[in-house]
Structure 1
Amino acid sequence: MRLSAVGQHRRRSAWFRPHRHLRREPHRAAHLLTRGLAGLIVLGILVMVGVLAVAEDRRTPARLASAEVDARIASRAVDPAPLSEAEVFPAGSAAFGVTQSSLTADCALAASGALRTTLLRYGCSQAVRAVLTVPYADYRITAGVLNLPDAAGATAVGDEIRVLVETDDGGFADITGAATGPGTPVLWRTRGHYVLYCVITGPDGGLVPADAPQVARVTRELLDAHLYDNVLVRRAG
């Protein structure tokens, strides 16, 4: 009987020991899960801080690069290479189609009215022009780049363009040299020693509303994204 009792006691101990172990398992799993979640949170914070730091690093050089671009195209003295048609209006662009292009040393051909004498007075040496189409509007766009001696001259020309266009005393001509009618959207930018511009009409030369949303898109994609970012920034680099 003692042996039997001892044997039963041993079996009873062996029976209860796993139950005590099983009661501990959920607590250990919850503890491990909590530690894992805490680790993920810390890792997420570190990743976020790293992304913000990289973004800030990228923004700062971008501002410095823009200033350097302006310095490298500030005048013909530091940017002496003449423009070419292929550089300014390359074939095969996804943003626009080129139906005709022209390069001339007579900048007056690109202008009408009093702007002709203004360009001669400030020493414009090149006018690179093209007739363009865009896939999102039925427009006929005459765009161009004028090569002035320096940034001061380009800025002065830009100021006179504003006055002449507002008073209808001058502006930019289409590729044939014909003056465009009053109210035609005329858009321009001065960048370094260059004046970038475009004139927008309907396919038959008709008037396009200046507040049409496609006009703003032309300005953004043609003058800013292409002529400045793709042409002048590349030239400065």
Structure 2
Amino acid sequence: MAPAPAGPDEVRKPPIASKRTWQWVVGSLGVLVLLGLCGLSGYFVLAGPEYGEDSRPADSAAAPVGPRDISSRAADPTPLTVEEVFPGKQILIDVEDSPYPVRKTQASEDCELVADGEIRELLLSLGCSQFVRATVLSPPETYVATAGIVNLEDAAGATGAHEKIKPIVDGKKGRFLGMAAGGDTGAVEGRSAQVGWHVRGHYLIYCVVARTNGQTIGSDDPFARQVMLDMIEVYLRGKVLDRRVTASAAPPAGVDPSQPN
């Protein structure tokens, strides 16, 4: 993918004929085929039924099984942290690709920062306790994205949320909020940004994508779709929450695991 990340106020342009640019072209054609097969048309929604009637549900049998139950915050009380979700300065999707530079991270209990309008009201009503998000640049640094995980009370609430969000976005009654991080990242806060979301357990995963030059993203833009899939499905829903599911559950507060019962 792209060269090493630049400083917070500097965005370096990759060579026009860079290896990663061609990887994105070829890879994105595959993404378009995949999305076409899944019945996703004209809207960047990576959630449940919008994948297609025969697609796998949010918590499929193929997901890793481990000692940690993430079906509710009662069963999974340990809060998310930046160190768990975005531990480094880069996000590596595949060892053969260049990483996404991470420009800014944030963990907060103020769930009003995640979204506005009816989406904000919905998340608050479902017991949002915190979120962790980061703003990244695409490997060819022409796209900027804010991706994050929202901690809701239970899986039923998370599943209900993803079903209710699409009509809210369609009706322009609320949106997820991007987080600018200096340089050419300000466009992620604009209303021209596209959004995708998905769920796993009691977590809602989302991604807001924009072009760094502020131009509107077309509904058939393969690069924006690639960012969505990389951030939501591969990284946050896959790698990050896979680690949480398969990690040993933390001991209850006040319990020293080194001491016998």
The TM-score range, normalised by the shorter chain, is 0.5 to 0.7
Residue deviations 1:116-161 (CA, integer Å, cap 9, x gap): 1111111101111111112145111011110001000111111221
The Cα shift of 1:173 comes to 0.9
The Cα shift of 1:65 comes to 5.6
Aligned partner of 1:167: which letter? G
2:227 aligns with one of 215, 218, 226: 218
TM-score w.r.t. structure 2 length?
0.61
Aligned partner of 2:70 in structure 1 is: 73
**Residues 71, 192 of structure 1: 8 Å contact kept:** no
Aligned partner of 1:180 in structure 2 is: 190
Residue deviations 1:161-199 (CA, integer Å, cap 9, x gap): 1111111110101115996315x3210001110010001
The Cα shift of 1:81 comes to 0.9
Structure with the bigger RCO (C-alpha within 8 Å, sep 6+) is: 2
In the alignment, structure 2 segments of 5+ residues that lack a partner are 1-59, 93-98, 181-185, 247-261
Residue deviations 1:85-137 (CA, integer Å, cap 9, x gap): 12111213333111011111111111022111111111101111111112145
How is 1:12-27 mapped onto 2 (pairs within 5 angstroms)? Answer: none
In the alignment, structure 1 segments of 5+ residues that lack a partner are 1-62
Aligned partner of 1:138: which letter? T
Question: Whose radius of gyration is greater, 1 or 2?
Answer: 1
How is 1:145-224 mapped onto 2 (pairs within 5 angstroms)? Answer: 145-175=149-179, 180-181=190-191, 184-224=193-233
Equivalent-residue separation in structure 2 for 1:212 and 1:137 (angstroms): 15
Equivalent-residue separation in structure 2 for 1:85 and 1:170 (angstroms): 26
Higher helix share: 1
Aligned partner of 1:213: which letter? P
Number of paired residues? 174
Root mean square deviation, CA, Å: 2.4
2:101 aligns with one of 97, 100, 108: 97
Q: Structure 1: which 4+ aligned runs deviate by more than 4 Å?
A: 176-179
Aligned partner of 1:118: which letter? L
Residue 142 of structure 2 aligns to a residue in which SS?
strand
Aligned partner of 1:87 in structure 2 is: 84
2:139 aligns with one of 135, 138, 144: 135
Q: 1:157 to 1:64 in 2, by over 3 A?
A: closer
